Structure 1
Amino acid sequence: MAYQDIQGVRVWGQPDTGALAQAVTCSETGQAIQTLLMADHHKGYSQPIGGVVVYDGQISPSGVGYDIACGNKAVRTNLLATDIKPQLAGIMDRIARKISFGIGRVNSEKVDHELFDDPDWAVYGAVGKQEHDKLKTLARDQLGTVGSGNHFVDLFEEPATGRLWVANHFGSRGFGHKTASGFINLAAGRSFLANAPGEKMDQAPVLLQLDSELGDMYYRAMKLAGRYAYAGRDYVIEQVLAVLGAEADMEVHNHHNFAWKEQHEGRETVVVRKGATPSAPGQIGFIGGSMGDISVIVRGKDTAENRAAFYSTVHGAGRVMSRTQAAGKMNWKTRTRSGGQITTEQMLRAVEAFGVELRGAGTDESPFVYRKLQDVLDAHAETIEVLHVLKPIGVCMAGADEFDPYKD
């Protein structure tokens, strides 16, 4: 087995002291069956990023996190990368104009979707009319927008075949964030839309009994946010394919901030993955590297180690430097930063050397702040196999110094 058992936590890769302490707290709270850290783990809010907690009959709104159903969609197109490389700069300009990036942005093109007739909106109606109307309006306005932080729209070349791929990374936007904070509020006895004090990094997870009224309401709301995230990622991919004049002939689509009811070791469990990709035998997933590194399409293996991982793997390369360390401390009044370890010039040189046409992004998303993806993949070699290796040629993100209220 490639993992270590440390204080009852199964750890892949090199243990991070802060994340391990959070995982131990999770393992000692409530009805946790097993806690795991994937090789890309680092500290998060309450449950670490790259952390997996398996529960008996409980679900954790703080474990799933504020960006419910954050995930990736990737499609292989009918084009070769060489078909677009001569026009790549112009194509990236059009993608940056076409797709709405940034926090709090609304889509300039209102998207009608059957999702808004979903019966699970009744969950919010049960909380209150104001809550229902506010969240549904926010969801309508933001459907098909990408957000900031590490969320992206990328173009990739598959070196083995020359094929052009398109991928994106984002979740349920402000709708998911307000859903998470709302249920954390309700669990603490506050009103859904109250100004919450916010979670502390190392506090114990917020837990709900799945068979309770509040637990069932959160589970339904979370699944609705999951369908919303899928719809948003579908819409953005369609927009990029239209810019390219391309069609998709293969797609991969998965969440990595979510909770699933799954059978493990002969019983039903709730598996809460925060920054971790499901990897059941035969299941296909996308794992993204930094803007100066490969990304991959993987498939779960039928092995004892994958069973020991509760069919979970990494979701990315994992941060080794915080946003503030990389970019410096932000003064929002003057909109200036100070004390960052990475300069814009360093970042631009690195991505240019890697052959990437970059739009947006700050130094807190530069290649220097992430592990090398191959290192974390190697740690999980017994649980997943790599099917496609993808090299980024175009990366589009929100601009530098966007205020990001989303916590994971």
Structure 2
Amino acid sequence: MYQTIQNVRVWGTPMENAVSQAVTCAQHGNVVQALLMADHHKGYSQPVGGVVVYDGQISPSGVGYDIACGNKAVRTDLTYADIRDKISGIMDEIAKKISFGIGRNNQERVEHELFDDENWYVYQQIGRHEHDSLKALARKQLGTVGSGNHFVDLFVEEATGAIWVANHFGSRGFGHKTASGFLNLAQGKPFSAKAAGESMDQPPTLLDLDSELGEMYYRAMTLAGIYAYAGRDYVMDQVLAILGATSTFEVHNHHNYAWKEMHDGKEYVVVRKGATPSAPGQLGFIGGSMGDISVIVRGKDSRENKDAFYSTVHGAGRIMSRTEAAGKMNWKTRKRQGGKITPAQMREAIAAFGVELRGAGTDESPFVYKKLHDVLTAHQDTIEVLHTLKPIGVCMAGADEYDPYKD
């Protein structure tokens, strides 16, 4: 059950700084309701795990820089017994085949019909240079994963022993430059101007959906969503080929996006930042940390789910910032200092959980996240868990583009 704090509906244990951000969001624009899922924590402008429902408006800062970040999860026709002795080699092959990291390009050119999508005309309206450069960037990066908490993971289903694969990333540099560009336009600056950056606690940037700029952003966001889906599909196909497996069941959705949805007979814009749609019967993948379970869930037809505007968590939720966990980076030595979590602690925890890890750093260790069971319990009246998955292989970008385990 949720509680209401200054007109914000809050699931789970309230984090004061995120609640403060949500209250600010609720006080600006045509807001119908602001909500915080149980995995909420402070973000830029709109908290992660935050949902804001608008009447006729859309928020580029609410959707955020990683437009259409989301997950694809696939159950394969393999069982744990089929790959038990091959997991290390499989993870090596995934790390070699899939491109992880900031600004990385795909070694293989990926052709896709999205590059003929009519919504590219938005960028033509902005300028020929912007259109051509963004399309070129999108082509180069399609099928790459990026950095941060973005991953490709192998799981074993606890009840059946089935092998699952899941990935997590969004629209890459194309989405980031789109977000920055529209935030610039909203401030009266050129699209390609240097992004000024945002204060964590500033009010959201809002566009009227029926304005020219609002319509342009919605179309650009839609295109970034198609791009993110195409990227996750491509990466999943690559991993299935490595496994020699086929898909028997799939779940695929965004969690950084703005949806036009009908609620109580009226259309609203539901901006979810780090929140998963959970309409009755709708499936979703919710990832825990690399030392915790992940789950496949289904939205319930319940009053509380309706009160949540059919939204739920997208993960476990951070309890420690990246800098707090890993320390500050000395770019001359490429070492971090002052972090609370050491690589040795992380290695020990991952080994104890039985996970083959490639890449990642202490800022993504299990110690920086809530336990997924706790956040799911807070939403037990809105979603049901269908499949519980235990990670056996995790692949992410190296910490700060290097492997901390080679120190």
Calculate the TM-score normalised by the size of structure 1. Answer: 0.98
Tell me how far apart the structure 2 counterparts of residues 105 and 166 of structure 1 sit (CA, whole Å): 22
> Does residue 1:174 correspond to 2:160, yes or no?
no
The match for 1:68 is: 67
Tell me how far apart the structure 1 counterparts of residues 6 and 160 of structure 2 sit (CA, whole Å): 45
Deviation at 1:333, TM superposition (A): 2.8
> Does residue 1:134 correspond to 2:133, yes or no?
yes
Tell me how far apart the structure 2 counterparts of residues 314 and 180 of structure 1 sit (CA, whole Å): 23
Deviation at 1:196, TM superposition (A): 1.8
Tell me how far apart the structure 1 counterparts of residues 258 and 163 of structure 2 sit (CA, whole Å): 32
The match for 1:32 is: 31
Secondary structure class of the residue paired with 2:395: strand
State the one-letter code of the partner of 1:396: C
The match for 2:371 is: 372
Deviation at 1:266, TM superposition (A): 2.2
Secondary structure class of the residue paired with 1:401: helix
Tell me how far apart the structure 1 counterparts of residues 325 and 400 of structure 2 sit (CA, whole Å): 12
Q: How does 1:97-136 map to 2 (within 5 A)?
A: 97-136=96-135
Tell me how far apart the structure 1 counterparts of residues 49 and 264 of structure 2 sit (CA, whole Å): 22
Tell me how far apart the structure 1 counterparts of residues 236 and 80 of structure 2 sit (CA, whole Å): 17
Secondary structure class of the residue paired with 1:254: strand
State the one-letter code of the partner of 2:34: T
State the one-letter code of the partner of 2:42: K
Deviation at 1:267, TM superposition (A): 1.0
Tell me how far apart the structure 1 counterparts of residues 196 and 113 of structure 2 sit (CA, whole Å): 35
**CA offset digits 1:43-100 (Å, max 9, x no partner):** 0000000000000000000000000000000000000012111011111000000000
State the one-letter code of the partner of 2:210: D
Deviation at 1:141, TM superposition (A): 0.3
The match for 1:50 is: 49
Deviation at 1:376, TM superposition (A): 0.1
Secondary structure class of the residue paired with 1:310: coil
State the one-letter code of the partner of 1:244: L
Secondary structure class of the residue paired with 1:101: coil
Tell me how far apart the structure 2 counterparts of residues 332 and 174 of structure 1 sit (CA, whole Å): 23
% identity of equivalent residues: 76
**CA offset digits 1:108-131 (Å, max 9, x no partner):** 011011110111000000000000
Secondary structure class of the residue paired with 1:290: coil
State the one-letter code of the partner of 1:308: D
Calculate the TM-score normalised by the size of structure 2. Answer: 0.98
The match for 1:342 is: 341
The match for 2:206 is: 207
The match for 1:165 is: 164
CA RMSD of aligned residues (A): 0.7
Tell me how far apart the structure 2 counterparts of residues 134 and 402 of structure 1 sit (CA, whole Å): 25
> Does residue 1:184 correspond to 2:183, yes or no?
yes
Deviation at 1:265, TM superposition (A): 2.1
Secondary structure class of the residue paired with 2:289: coil
Deviation at 1:194, TM superposition (A): 0.3
> Does residue 1:235 correspond to 2:241, yes or no?
no
**CA offset digits 1:276-295 (Å, max 9, x no partner):** 00000000000000000000
The match for 1:396 is: 395
Secondary structure class of the residue paired with 1:146: coil
Tell me how far apart the structure 2 counterparts of residues 173 and 333 of structure 1 sit (CA, whole Å): 27
Secondary structure class of the residue paired with 2:315: coil
Tell me how far apart the structure 2 counterparts of residues 296 and 392 of structure 1 sit (CA, whole Å): 11
> Does residue 1:149 correspond to 2:148, yes or no?
yes
Secondary structure class of the residue paired with 2:333: coil
State the one-letter code of the partner of 2:238: Q
Q: How does 1:84-99 map to 2 (within 5 A)?
A: 84-99=83-98
**CA offset digits 1:175-223 (Å, max 9, x no partner):** 0000000000000000001002101100000000000000000000000
The match for 1:249 is: 248
Tell me how far apart the structure 1 counterparts of residues 314 and 86 of structure 2 sit (CA, whole Å): 31
Structure 2 gap ranges (5+): 403-407
**CA offset digits 1:239-268 (Å, max 9, x no partner):** 000000000010000000000000112211
Deviation at 1:269, TM superposition (A): 0.3
Structure 1 gap ranges (5+): 404-408
The match for 1:260 is: 259
The match for 1:10 is: 9
Tell me how far apart the structure 2 counterparts of residues 85 and 326 of structure 1 sit (CA, whole Å): 32
**CA offset digits 1:283-332 (Å, max 9, x no partner):** 00000000000000000000000000000000000000000000001122
Secondary structure class of the residue paired with 1:145: coil
Q: How does 1:289-368 map to 2 (within 5 A)?
A: 289-368=288-367
**CA offset digits 1:151-187 (Å, max 9, x no partner):** 0000000010000000000000000000000000000
* Segments of 4+ moved more than 6 angstroms: none
Tell me how far apart the structure 2 counterparts of residues 315 and 188 of structure 1 sit (CA, whole Å): 30
